[in-house]
Amino acid sequence: MGPNAAAWDDQTPRDPLEYAVSVRDKDVLSMVRTALRTDSCQLALQPVCAAQSGYPVAFHECLIRVMDETGRIIPAAQFMGQIEDTSIGRDIDAASLKLAFRLLARHDDLRLSVNVSARSLGDAAWRRVLEKELDSGSMYADRLILEISEESAMQLPEVVIRFMEEMQPYGLAFALDDFGAGLTAFRYLKDFFFDLVKVDSHFTRNIHRDPDNQVLAEALITVAHQFEMFAVGEGVESQQEADFLISVGVDCVQGYHFGVPKFSVK
């Protein structure tokens, strides 16, 4: 038995496919770190449209795209699950916020939502990006929506509430993403300062022919309005879905039916 046999037995997957996957994952994370270090990230923007005639764009959601050394996009599915609760996840959030402020500075008529985890609200690097803009008096913050997933907000509700209280004087808006997906503790809604909720796509998909989703989505929209929050139906992929959501009071719609994420800003 060679000198490295024990190391192989202890640390390396025996199955060749498992080994290949583990190597790929390490390479992907290395590429993500390099992209963040070299500023090789871009924001793709997906429109969120008002439920009015002509569906005017109310704002755009920012979706970060990370590039490898050749300029190709690294699929988020290959790394997001691994980094959400790590320092790389915090760095992704900081990069998204920085890029969003750059876009807001270049486009006076643009309003953006940026995804952030509850853990990032206390992260030093993320806070530096935010506080630099707030301290500069640039006034871009009043066109920014911070989007926090329901699952993330419920993990650290006190942190989120405290941050929202701190940010009230600056005009920042807040969105609760994936509303309904994580069994929100409704008792917290009166303590949060969310301006809008995004009804999870699980409840909007095929809603025009799914009685269960119809009841659940309408209930979530009613709860949102009771707490004076706008309701966005996300994941809308057909006009039939949009029509039903609008009939039960949704304020905005988002999904591939109304626009795919794009790098350009019209």
SS3 string of 6-62? HHHHHHCCCCHHHHHHHHHHHHHHHHHHHHHHCCCEEEEEEEEEECCCCCCEEEEEE
How far CA 137 is from CA of 39, 157, 170, 240, in Å, comes to 25, 29, 10, 44
pTM over 0.85: yes
Q: Pairing relation of β-strands 252-254 and 196-199?
A: unpaired
Q: What is the pLDDT at residue 78? A: 79
Residue with tokens 């807001």: 104
Distance CA 128, CA 111 (A): 21
Q: Can you say whether residue 227 is alpha, beta or left, with left for phi > 0 and alpha for psi between -120 and 50 degrees?
A: alpha
Token representation of residue 142: 């009043």
Q: What is the pLDDT at residue 184? A: 61
Domain boundaries, the chain: 41-254
Q: What is the pLDDT at residue 4? A: 41
CB 223 within 8 A of CB 179: no
Q: What is the pLDDT at residue 183? A: 58
Q: Which helix (H) or strand (E) holds 199?
A: strand 196-199
Residue type at position 43: L
pLDDT in tens, 147-193: 999 999 999 999 999 999 999 999 999 999 999 887 566 777 888 99
Residues in the chain, total: 266
CB 44 within 8 A of CB 65: yes
Could you tell me the CATH superfamily of domain 41-254?
EAL domain (3.20.20.450)
Q: What is the pLDDT at residue 26? A: 58
pLDDT in tens, 38-53: 999 999 999 999 999 9
Q: What is the pLDDT at residue 86? A: 82
Q: What is the pLDDT at residue 28? A: 82
Q: What is the pLDDT at residue 23? A: 44
The residues with which 254 forms a beta bridge, in sequence order, are: 48
Q: Would you give per-residue pLDDT tens digits along the chain (266 residues)?
A: 444 433 334 444 455 445 444 545 558 888 889 999 999 999 999 999 999 999 999 999 999 999 988 888 887 877 887 787 788 999 999 999 999 999 999 999 999 999 999 999 999 999 999 999 999 888 888 999 999 999 999 999 999 999 999 999 999 999 999 998 875 667 778 889 999 999 999 999 999 999 999 999 999 999 999 999 999 999 999 999 999 999 999 999 999 999 999 997 75
Nearest one of 122, 191, 114 to 149, comparing CA atoms: 114
**Who's near 199: CB < 8 A, 6+ residues apart?**
179, 180, 217, 220, 221, 224, 231, 232, 233, 234, 245, 250
SS3 107: coil
